[in-house]
Amino acid sequence: MVIIWLLRIQTAFCQHDSTNHRLRVINIGIPATYGLTMTGLYSLWYKGYPMSKFHFFNDNNEWMQVDKMGHSYSAYQLSRTGVELYRWSGLTGRKAILTGGVVGYSYLTTIEILDGFSSNWGASWGDLVANTIGTGLYVVQELFWKEQKINLKFSFSQSPYHQLRPNVLGENFPQQMFKDYNGQTYWLSANIKSLCLATENKFPAWLNLAVGYGAQGMIGSENNSFLAKGSSVAVNYSYIPRFRQWYLAPDIDFTRIPTKSKALKRVFFILNCVKLPFPTLEKNKNGLKFHYLYF
């Protein structure tokens, strides 16, 4: 159903451009990739669990909302990629922005639908709101500013907590990047020159200032006491404090570095997903802390 809906929206925006070869490739490739991705996700993640009637559940208190930041980040980056693909295909202006935004949002919305039919989970209003914020941040800036003055970025540092619960927080480094919220930091990276009210300023075009959010001490989703996997044995890590972290650091907007190289532009586009290590000021419940380099 979602694939049909996506195709209809694509057709509505692209019907006058059907002779464009790149656009035909995109219009075939994206729904095909979408279908294969969701089929694979269902087989690997949902197939082994019982299905139920579609339902919602409230997970807004879990993982100190770091997971919600992850949803916004994913929606932002998927929408950003979708828009650039449609621009590559030849679409311009609002057509490319709205079509690419719908594509990015559709991927994450489908995951919520699958969650909603799984008895082990449920669709989350919090996730849907976070997805909307992420896609909205990208699309609204493109429509009104025709540029991204504020980017959403990600960084990860391996935390010690995965050792206490590897089945949930990840058994290896790639798993931990996705599952251990203790190591994830999400950043709003704002371009100083484009946001400066002065008509003339000497800030480098690529210089950003980033505000980050993360949290530590999370062994369980809502608290650090839970039942061990596959048993009724209680595990208690409540002596480990859970706390939020806020960060302030300089950053680079790679897409604003001038270059005529198409290859470098692609590399810069990819690099702009990630917040690079820089000297960083952290604020948490214990006060202020300075990092010579933080990632």
pLDDT of residue 29: 78
Find the farthest-apart pair of alpha carbons in the chain and give their distance in angstroms, rounded: 65
Amino acid at site 206? W
Which residues on adjacent β-strands are paired with residue 123?
A: 56
pLDDT of residue 45: 67
Report DSSP state, residue 171.
S
pLDDT-derived band at 188 (thresholds 50, 70, 90) equals: very high
pLDDT of residue 13: 52
**Digit-coded pLDDT (tens) for 150-174:** 999 999 999 999 999 998 899 899 8
**Residue 12 pLDDT greater than 70, yes or no:** no
pLDDT of residue 245: 98
Spatial separation of the C-alpha atoms in residues 101 and 141, rounded to whole Å: 12
**Mapping DSSP to helix (H, G, I), strand (E, B) and coil, where does residue 258 land?**
coil
**Residue 6 pLDDT greater than 60, yes or no:** no
**Digit-coded pLDDT (tens) for 26-50:** 878 777 887 787 777 777 567 777 8
**Digit-coded pLDDT (tens) for 80-98:** 999 999 999 888 899 999 9
Instruction: Quote the Cα angle for 213-215-216, to 5°.
Output: 150
Start-to-end CA span in the chain (Å): 40
**Mapping DSSP to helix (H, G, I), strand (E, B) and coil, where does residue 13 land?**
helix
Please write down the long-range contacts of 227-236, taking CB distance under 8 Å and 24 or more positions apart. Answer: 229/167
Entry pTM: 0.89
3-state helix, strand, coil in the chain (%, to 5): 50, 20, 30
**Digit-coded pLDDT (tens) for 238-281:** 999 999 999 999 999 999 999 999 999 999 999 999 999 999 99
> Mean pLDDT, to the nearest integer, of 174-198?
93
Spatial separation of the C-alpha atoms in residues 187 and 274, rounded to whole Å: 9
**Residue 138 pLDDT greater than 60, yes or no:** yes
